[in-house]
């Protein structure tokens, strides 16, 4: 996992389909995971990490992960141990992962 960075904040009124398409394109072109999150400030943002995930959620001020992508260059595996760990760290009950075009909802363990 690489430390996460905020790619950009999401403006009120942006269509979710456009945000998802942007996250997919970013992941496809870079090979790194991207996520749509809510920051402690209340803003929504797209954040990036490395091919193995996004670390330093606390440093970024993330308090909710709406969903994230997994890289296309690896076979789909479903939610990873790190995905479940992030939910636990945030006290979140569920989220979504997008792998190879398939969106899956998963719940904390």
The CATH number that applies at residue 7 is: 3.40.140
Q: How far apart are CA 19 and CA 36, in angstroms?
A: 8
> CA-to-CA distance for 74 and 59, rounded, in angstroms?
28
Q: Would the pTM of this model clear 0.95, i.e. be above it?
A: no
The total of structural domains in the chain comes to 1
Instruction: Indicate the pLDDT class of residue 54, thresholds 50, 70 and 90.
Output: confident
**What pLDDT score does 52 carry?**
82
Section 8-16 average pLDDT: 95
> Average pLDDT of 85-94?
94
Instruction: Give 102's pLDDT tier (boundaries 50, 70, 90).
Output: very high
- Transcribe 48-107 into DSSP letters: E-BTTBEE-HHHHTEEEEEEEE--TTS----S-HHHHHHHHHHT-SEEEEEETTEEEEEE
Full domain range(s) for residue 102? 2-107
Residue 1: band (very low, low, confident or very high) from pLDDT cuts 50, 70, 90:
low
- Average of per-residue pLDDT values in the chain: 92
């Amino acid at each position: 996992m690489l430390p996460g960075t905020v790619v950009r904040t999401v403006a009120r009124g942006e269509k979710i389909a456009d945000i998802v398409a942007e996250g997919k394109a970013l992941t496809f072109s870079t090979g790194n995971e991207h996520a749509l999150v809510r920051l402690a400030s209340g803003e929504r943002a797209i954040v990036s990490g490395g091919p193995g995930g996004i670390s330093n959620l606390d440093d970024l001020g993330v308090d909710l992960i709406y969903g994230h992508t997994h890289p296309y260059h690896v076979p789909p595996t479903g939610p990873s141990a790190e995905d479940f760990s992030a939910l636990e760290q945030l006290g979140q009950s569920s989220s979504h992962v997008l792998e190879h075009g398939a969106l899956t909802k998963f719940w904390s363990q």
